[in-house]
Amino acid sequence: MAPDTVSLRYFLVLAQELNFTRAAARIGIAQPALSARMRRLETELGTALLVRNTRSVVLTTAGAALAESAPSALAALDRAWDTARGAAAGELGTLRIGYSLSAGAETAPALVDRLIRDNSGLDVGAVPMATPEISPAVADGRIDAGITRGEQPGRGVRRFLLRRARIGVQLSQHHPLAEHLEIEIADAAAYPLRLPDRAANPVIHDQLSALFRDTRLFRDTRPHPRFHTPAVSYDMSQRDLRDGVTLAPAGEAAAAALSAGLRWRPLRGAPSLTIHLVLPREQSPLHRRVRAVANALAHELGWLSGLPELPGPAELSD
């Protein structure tokens, strides 16, 4: 029978002190209790470890061998316990995160960096994905977590608000509206507006188009907004913006990744866009760790400020 680790640790203290009184005081137990522990340890091992008399304690050959080999064995056992505890706390393992391209400029990198920095035992990988694919991939386990713009539909997942972002427009630095620190929604709607393909993110597409189509913003004489979708993928073609022809609605993170010659200006009075963390409905310690880190980061960076949200799809009006 292997000895209990507490008795083994007590033995190592005694092997250093070679004095029951000093060893018991160092450990913080009574001397009779230490003596009883050592007798039980010797019984479990089937050999004497100590030669005792009224004045001294001497290690036997077996005791000396145990005193030499036990520290490394205990250190290995401590590492095993730490590994088990880390796994139980979600601090170890492989974490796969899918994120939408619109979350890749700032939000996803910040979360991935914090997860890596605060959890050295995690192997974190992140990959851009089409927004409609993220929730299904989380639900069926292809990825562990997702970051999406807007509260995307999907079964088998839970969504947690990660960030509220001011909404504005990207436009040429020479555009007449670029001189304003804030732009009225109705003024922006007077120009062609570039929206991403609806198939890429139906939730955000519908929310943005509804924001500019809201009839309360327009007089009868003002034309309704004109929307168009670029022929290439997300944010690749910006000639129409640089030429001053078109405005592109975008969250405030776009201000940190603007191409040369472009500006980002917030829309006055516009509600916020939302970014969500997507996790499986049944969550492991690893998922709970991601949620805790994301929540702490969101509050630290002010991502959950009191901006109003865009209405959900059921609340949209044409």
| Residue 318: pLDDT band with limits 50, 70, 90 | very low
> What is the overall mean pLDDT for the chain?
82
What pLDDT is stored for residue 124 in this prediction?
85
What pLDDT is stored for residue 83 in this prediction?
59
pTM of the model: 0.65
User: Is the pLDDT reported for residue 91 higher than 70?
Assistant: no
3-state secondary structure the chain: CCCCHHHHHHHHHHHHHCCHHHHHHHHCCCHHHHHHHHHHHHHHHCCCCEEECCCCEEECHHHHHHHHHHHHHHHHHHHHHHHHHHHHCCCCEEEEEEECHHHCCCHHHHHHHHHHHHCCCEEEEEEECCHHHHHHHHHCCCCCEEEEECCCCCCCEEEEEEEEECEEEEEECCCHHHHCCCEEHHHHCCCCEECCCHHHCHHHHHHHHHHHHCHHHCCCCCCCCCEECCCCCCCCCCHHHHCCCCEEEEEHHHHHHCCCCEEEEEEECCCEEEEEEEEECCCCHHHHHHHHHHHHHHHHCCCCCCCCECCCHHHCCC
**pLDDT over 90, % of the chain:** 36
- pLDDT by residue (tens digit) across 114-124? 988 887 777 88
| Residue 312: pLDDT band with limits 50, 70, 90 | very low
* Least confident among 35-39, 41-45, 309-313: 309-313
- pLDDT by residue (tens digit) across 56-89? 889 999 999 999 998 988 887 777 676 556 656 6
Give the pLDDT mean for 138-151: 91
